[in-house]
Amino acid sequence: MGLRGQSNGSTAIVPTVRLLVATLGSRTLAFEADSVDGLLTVEVGGRAGVVIVQDVAYRPVDLARRLSLQTEEDGPDRRVLLLSHGGLHGSVRVAQVQGLREVGLSQLVPIPRQFHGEEQQWYRGLIALDGDLALVLDMSWVLHEIGERRAESPLAWYERGPRVINDDPDQAIDSAREC
Amino acid sequence: MKTDEVAGISQWKDSAAIPSQTPFVSSVIRNNETLLPVFDLAGLLRVSIRGADPLCLTAKHPRGPMAICIDGEMPVLQTLDPASIRPCQGEVFDSLGSFASGLEEVPIIALSRLGSADPA
C-alpha cells in the first residue's frame, strides 16, 4: 500500500470465457455462453423441426450424430439449446444442462496434435471441470451445417413444419443456474 | 520398441473419450497436470489388454508424447545386436524390423510413427 493509500500493485485482468455446460451421450460438452440464446424444454421446443422464437428460426442440429454419440432416451432433464453464431441459428438437444461456468482462458487446453482429423475443427479445446473433462465445442462448426442446409430449397425447412413458440420466451426458457 | 522412443511407464488411469476421426486416437488420459492423447495400440493389433491393472507407456512422438495402454506385466529390457534385426513386412504398423526370440519373431514397433498420416 502506497503513502496515499493506493495500492502499488495492479490488478491483473485474467481473460475468461463463459461456458454453458451440458451432457449428451454421457459426454460433457461446453458451449460458449454468448452463443446461447436460450433453453427450452423438449415439450416446448418440440422433438424435431424448426423452432421459431421471436421471429428467429432455429434449425435442428443433430450433434449426437455428428459426434457419433449414443443418445439417451428423452428424460425430464432433456433440454433444447437455442444457439446463434455468425448469423446462423440452430437448436441442439442435450440430455442435461449442468449450468454456466466462467473459467480462465488459460484453463482451455487445445486438443493434442495427434488428433489430426476433422475433429480439430470441432473443438475449441478441452477443459477440466469438477474432475470431468469437458469438450468445448467450436460454435462455427456446430452451426456450420445450418449454412449448408440453407443453400437447399428455401421452403424445404418450412414444409417440414416449423414450431412457432408463441409463449412468452421468458416463461418458456428454463434458466441456467450458475454452478 | 526402442527405449529411446519410450518416455516412461506408469500406472494406467481412466481415459476420457474424445469423439474423433483419427484412427486409433479417440481418448486422452491425464498424466500429472498434462493431457496425453491415447493411441489404441491394442485396437490396431486387434488384441485385448490382459490383466486387471494395465500400465501406461508414454511414447515419444513428433507431435508430442502419447499414451499407450499395455498389459500389466512390466516390460523387460532386451539388448539386441543390430545385425540380428531383420526387415519386417506385412504388419499393420510401421516397424523398425524384427528379431527372433526363441521360436517367435518379434516386430519392433516404431512408436514415433504411430498414428501419423503424414510425417510430422
Cell output for B30 = 491425464
* pTM of structure: 0.79
Q: Give the Å distances, CA to CA, from A166 to A49, A54, A79, A170, B89.
A: 16, 8, 18, 11, 67
CB contact under 8 A, B18 and A115: yes
Does the pLDDT at position A121 exceed 60?
yes
Mean pLDDT by 10 residues, chain B (120 residues): 87 92 94 89 89 91 92 82 78 77 82 66
CB contact under 8 A, A114 and B64: yes
Residue of A nearest to B18 (CA): A135
Q: Which residue has the higher pLDDT, A68 or A148?
A: A68
Domain borders along chain A are 16-166
Q: pLDDT category, A83, cuts 50, 70, 90?
A: very high
Q: Among residues 61-120 of chain B, which lie with CB inside 8 Å of chain A?
A: 61, 63-64, 66, 115, 117
d(CA B62, CA B67): 13
Residues of A with CB below 8 A from B21's CB?
117-119
Q: Which pLDDT value is given to residue A170? A: 43
- Predicted complex ipTM exceeds 0.90: no
The mean-pLDDT minimum among A134-143, A158-167, B73-82 falls in A158-167
From the options 3.30.450.20, 3.40.35.10, 2.40.50.180, 2.60.40.10, give the CATH code of B3-113. Answer: 2.40.50.180
Largest CA distance in chain B: 43
Residue of A nearest to B118 (CA): A116
- The tally of CA atoms less than 13 A away on the side-chain side of residue A60 is 21
Confirm if A35 and A67 have CB atoms less than 8 A apart: no
Q: For the domain covering A16-166, report its CATH number.
A: 2.40.50.180
Cα dihedral B1→B2→B5→B9 (10° resolution): 60
The whole-number average pLDDT for the span A18-40 is 95
